[in-house]
Amino acid sequence: MATVRVLLVDDYEPWRQFVCRVLQKRPDLEIVGEVADGLEAVQQAGELHPDVILLDIGLPTLNGIEAARRLRRISPDSKILFCQSRIFCRCGARSAEHRGTRLRCEGERERSTECDERRSCGIRSLSLSVV
C-alpha cells in the first residue's frame, strides 16, 4: 500500500500537534510538513507536493480560501481538505476565544457573555470539507 503524504496547515499549535499524533498512528499516512499560516503552506506545498493538504480556513498572513487558490496552481495533484476546529463551551457558546469575548451560539445570534471557568470549556470539534 502506498503512503499518503500529508501537509498539515493550522495556526493553533496544540491542535496541530494533536492531529499529527493521531495521523502518525496510521502507517499509511506520513506527515511531510506542518505550517502555521497560508503563505507558508503555499511555499511548503511547492517544495513537498503532498498528496493531501489539511488546511484551516482562518489562517494568518494568507487565509485558507486564498491559500487554496494558490495551492491549486502550485500543487494541482494535491487534494485539499478544509479543516476548521472550534472550541465549544458547555454553556452553549462557541468561540475561538472563550472568556470575555463575543460568542456565537449554535444557531443563535451573537451575544456577549462571560464564560464560567467552573464549566467544562474547551471541547473541540473538527469539521472537514473536501475541495
With a CB cutoff of 8 Å and minimum separation 6, the contacts of 93 are 103, 104, 105, 111, 113, 115
Percent of the chain topping pLDDT 70: 64
For residues 110 and 104, is the Cβ–Cβ distance under 8 A?
A: yes
4-84 adopts what CATH topology? Rossmann fold (3.40.50)
What pLDDT shows up at residue 71? 96
The pLDDT tens digits for 111-131 are 333 444 333 334 344 444 444
Q: Is the pTM of this model over 0.75?
A: no
Half-sphere CA count of 83, side-chain side, radius 13 A: 19
3-state secondary structure of 104: strand
Q: Residue 87 — very low, low, confident or very high, per pLDDT cuts 50/70/90?
A: low
> According to CATH, where is 3.40.50.2300 located in the chain?
4-84
- 10 Å Cβ neighbour count for 73? 9
Q: Mind listing the pLDDT tens digit for each residue in 33-85?
A: 999 999 999 999 999 999 999 999 989 889 999 999 999 999 999 999 988 76
94 or 78, greater pLDDT: 78
